[in-house]
Amino acid sequence: MLDTGALLAKYHLLANIQGAEYLIPIEVYSEVKDAENREALELGLAIGRIRIEAPDSSSVEEAVKTAKKVGELVKLSRTDVAVAALALSLKKKCGNVVVVTDDYSLQNLLHHMGIGFKPLRTTGIKKPRKYRVFCPVCGYVPSSPQEQICPLCGSKIIRREAS
């Protein structure tokens, strides 16, 4: 599986793995806007190196629930959650799944979901972490990742590593 960063690095064309096919959710496809990378993506689709697939709804729910539990939901994009959910769907069907990604928050979520990842241009996370997301003034815990400001006191919502 590939996230957007791996796709933009043209991993699907550069990786020398015979017969490899990489899956992406439609959200990753939609993030590729520039002509050069769109052309590389379309080539990958045409030669069978990339296939677009949708995660099942229970995997999406589980990915969101886990992301919230470990405090990563505020750092993950909708696309990141879709990548994690598709990886989980595949894990349920096939067992072993590896996601190529340099995104530390996505790597952390994948680790907590028991899914392998391979960093491309970074060293990757050293250890899994859990975070608390809250208002430092009144203690309010946001119910959605879009909440950046506390609706009770107006302070900025923060994220801290849980001890």
- CA–CA dist 101, 8 (Å, integer): 11
Rounded to 5°, the CA angle 135-85-111 comes to 70
- Residues 55-74 pLDDT 10s: 999 999 999 999 999 999 88
Mean pLDDT of the chain: 93
Q: What class is the 4-118 domain? A: alpha beta
The per-residue pLDDT for 80 is 96
- Residues 1-45 pLDDT 10s: 999 999 999 999 887 777 789 999 999 999 999 999 999 999 999
Domain boundaries, the chain: 4-118, 130-163
pTM of the model: 0.88
